[in-house]
Amino acid sequence: MAEISECKFYFNPLPAKNFSFLQDKETLALLIKWSMLGRISAQAFSFDHDFLHYNSEKFALDFFKDPVVVFGLKHLVSGVWVPLDKPVVSVHVEPVPCSRVSTDLFDPLYTCGILRPSGLVVKCLHEVHQDYDKLRQVTLSPHVCVVQKKKKSAQDSISSSRC
């Protein structure tokens, strides 16, 4: 029998899996508020071997090379869901510590006036910047440094991991 590290993982889609967070009214309201409704999706897959953290890169590479997964994965391009256009040739897996859940990362957005206490994004003047708000201004401006470099690198790793 082959060792676990030599085994290839195979994946099966779970199309009947319902994600409660995508059906929750509060979550849907937040997705609408942040213009994410219709721009986010979730899929579930089962796999055939035990997952071992030291084998995570092989697991991830097998996932993205599995024909069943590749057929089902899509990404958003100009508002349209399209299949992946390039095969995944390598992966890098980085453990994310999950011992503490905190939203402290977003506190500077409140203190600098980008977000209102209610969580709504402060809009820019329509005469000057139509469909432009403070959050877009911060993310697009190289001169505005709201989030400390250490915290920003954590945010960047979160953003890059979902691509």
Q: Is 31 exposed, middle or buried (0-12, 13-18, 19+ CB in 10 A)?
A: middle
What are the structural domain ranges in the chain?
4-83, 104-161
Q: How far is CA 99 from the centre of its chain?
A: 19
Which residues are registered as beta bridge partners of 121?
115
Write the single-letter amino acid at 94. E
- Give per-residue pLDDT as tens, 30-86: 888 888 888 888 889 999 888 888 889 999 999 999 999 998 888 888 888 888 888
pLDDT at 146 > cutoff 70: no
| pLDDT score of 3 | 52
Average pLDDT over residues 87-113: 81
Overall size of the chain counted in residues: 163
Average pLDDT over residues 15-36: 88
| pLDDT score of 128 | 58
| pLDDT score of 143 | 47
